[in-house]
């Protein structure tokens, strides 16, 4: 019950009343001409961090590259709002509401242009989130079960099993998301590579918690990877719209790297994908180092106990370091 309450609270706080915090936003036009509008936007609390672009095409490229979350092309009778549902629905909902209200007050027509739309198979843009969530749950459970069913196996055996699980689970969920559902259409190899790496990272991270903390590492690892992972992933609420703590740690979380990477590959012409692979790579290396450290400490403790009690030896040798 305590775990369930913490789970709901951690996730609930991250999704409660999302609003932008200095979110990068593009404004098109000559800087002198758009300065009054720039001041108006930056005066709207801390919602906008305005960047001025000379042309609509430059602003469009900035939106696709995720340098900004949207862009506004002002006009006397008609204005254009550029959004990208490929990065999630939250920015689009906020910006369309904000500028529709402005258009109503100032009497101009607003045309909304989705420069990076989601496909018909993923109209809500949530498939990347569900790929991440399902794989996270499966990976956490896999490592916990493996640690009980194969306790004390050597590091190389655990490593091989973790790699095999990552490949199998990652490929399976991507097969359903891309060829079957058509939600992450195209770039199957990139999507599968990222997702397989993420599956391995979660297994290795859970193993690191267990290797260092023992049984208490299971709930602590699960809380870190599941509710905090969901809350910081950007899957339901874009990272720039999260509360302060979640927003600060989101760029460094494996969950955000997975969701952002999937969306970048599938919808945003690959923008941000390099960072996703970098973050997951760092997680993998750190997790493996911690698993190895935990195994060495465990072997040292076992060696000390065996020295004190010769009956603790088996075949005249102390047990080799294990991963779980």
Instruction: Give me the half-sphere count of Cα atoms (radius 13 Å) on the Cβ side of residue 95.
Output: 30
Q: Based on the domain organization, do 71 and 139 belong to the same domain?
A: no
Last residue of a domain, one of 117, 140, 170: 117
Per-residue pLDDT at 315: 45
Q: Based on the domain organization, do 275 and 299 belong to the same domain?
A: yes
Q: Give 229-257 pLDDT, tens digit per residue.
A: 999 999 999 999 999 999 999 999 999 99
- In whole angstroms, give the CA distance from residue 187 to residue 266: 7
Helix, coil or strand: residue 297: helix
Q: pLDDT-derived band of residue 158, with 50, 70 and 90 as boundaries?
A: very high
C-beta separation of 237 from 90 below 8 A? yes
Q: Based on the domain organization, do 113 and 26 belong to the same domain?
A: yes
Q: Based on the domain organization, do 150 and 284 belong to the same domain?
A: yes
Last residue of a domain, one of 53, 86, 117: 117
Q: Based on the domain organization, do 57 and 29 belong to the same domain?
A: yes
Beta strands in the chain (DSSP E): 23-28, 48-53, 71-73, 78-83, 109-114
Kindly report which listed range (174-188, 238-252, 299-313) carries the lowest average pLDDT score: 299-313
Number of DSSP helices (H) and strands (E) in the chain, helices first? 12, 5
Q: Based on the domain organization, do 181 and 275 belong to the same domain?
A: yes
Listing DSSP states for 204-264 in one string gives HHHHHHHHHHSTTHHHHHHHHHTHHHHHHS-SSS-GGGS-HHHHHHGGG-HHHHHHHHHHH
Kindly report which listed range (75-79, 93-97, 268-272, 298-302) carries the lowest average pLDDT score: 298-302
Q: Based on the domain organization, do 133 and 250 belong to the same domain?
A: yes
Q: Is the pLDDT of residue 146 over 50?
A: yes
Kindly report which listed range (1-5, 85-89, 288-292) carries the lowest average pLDDT score: 1-5
Q: Based on the domain organization, do 171 and 113 belong to the same domain?
A: no
Q: What's the total number of domains in the chain?
A: 2
CATH code of the domain covering residue 80: 3.40.190
Q: Based on the domain organization, do 152 and 251 belong to the same domain?
A: yes
Handedness of CA 172, 177, 182, 188 (dihedral sign): negative
Listing DSSP states for 82-100 in one string gives EE-GGG-HHHHHHHHHHHH
- In whole angstroms, give the CA distance from residue 99 to residue 104: 8
C-beta separation of 142 from 201 below 8 A? no
Last residue of a domain, one of 80, 98, 117: 117
Per-residue pLDDT at 176: 87
Residue at 191 is within a domain: yes
Per-residue pLDDT at 318: 37
Q: Based on the domain organization, do 211 and 229 belong to the same domain?
A: yes
Q: pLDDT-derived band of residue 222, with 50, 70 and 90 as boundaries?
A: very high
Give the single-character DSSP code of 237: S
Helix, coil or strand: residue 244: helix
Residue at 324 is within a domain: no
Give the single-character DSSP code of 19: -
- In whole angstroms, give the CA distance from residue 245 to residue 268: 26
- Give the residue numbers spanning the domain of 305: 123-312
Q: Based on the domain organization, do 194 and 142 belong to the same domain?
A: yes
- In whole angstroms, give the CA distance from residue 66 to residue 121: 23
């Amino acid at each position: 019950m305590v775990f369930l309450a913490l789970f709901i609270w951690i996730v609930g706080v991250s999704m409660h009343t999302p609003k932008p915090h200095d979110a990068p936003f593009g404004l098109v036009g000559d800087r002198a001409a758009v300065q009054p509008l720039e001041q108006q936007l930056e005066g709207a609390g801390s919602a906008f961090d305005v960047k001025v672009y000379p042309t609509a095409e430059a602003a469009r490229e900035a939106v696709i590259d995720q340098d900004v979350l949207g862009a506004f092309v002002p006009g006397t009778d008609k204005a254009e709002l550029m959004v990208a549902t490929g990065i999630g629905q939250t920015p689009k909902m906020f910006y369309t509401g904000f500028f529709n209200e402005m258009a109503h007050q100032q009497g101009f027509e607003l045309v909304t242009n989705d420069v990076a739309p989601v496909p018909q198979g993923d109209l809500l843009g949530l498939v990347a989130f569900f790929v991440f969530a399902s794989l996270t749950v499966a990976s956490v459970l896999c490592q916990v079960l493996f640690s009980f069913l194969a306790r004390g196996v050597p590091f190389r055996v655990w490593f091989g099993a973790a790699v095999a699980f990552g490949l199998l689970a990652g490929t399976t969920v991507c097969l359903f998301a891309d060829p079957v559902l058509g939600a992450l259409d195209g770039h199957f190899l990139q999507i599968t590579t990222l997702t397989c790496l993420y599956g391995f990272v979660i297994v290795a991270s859970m193993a690191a918690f267990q290797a260092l903390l023992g049984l208490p590492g299971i709930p602590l690892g699960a809380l870190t990877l599941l509710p905090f992972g969901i809350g910081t992933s950007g899957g339901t609420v874009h990272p720039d719209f999260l509360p302060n703590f979640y927003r600060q740690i989101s760029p460094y979380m494996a969950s955000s790297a997975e969701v952002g990477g999937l969306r970048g590959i599938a919808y945003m012409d690959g923008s941000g994908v390099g960072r996703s692979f970098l973050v997951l790579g760092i997680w993998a290396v750190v997790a493996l180092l911690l698993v190895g450290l935990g195994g060495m400490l465990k072997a040292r403790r076992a060696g000390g106990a065996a020295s004190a009690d010769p009956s603790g030896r088996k075949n005249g040798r102390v047990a080799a370091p294990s991963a779980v």
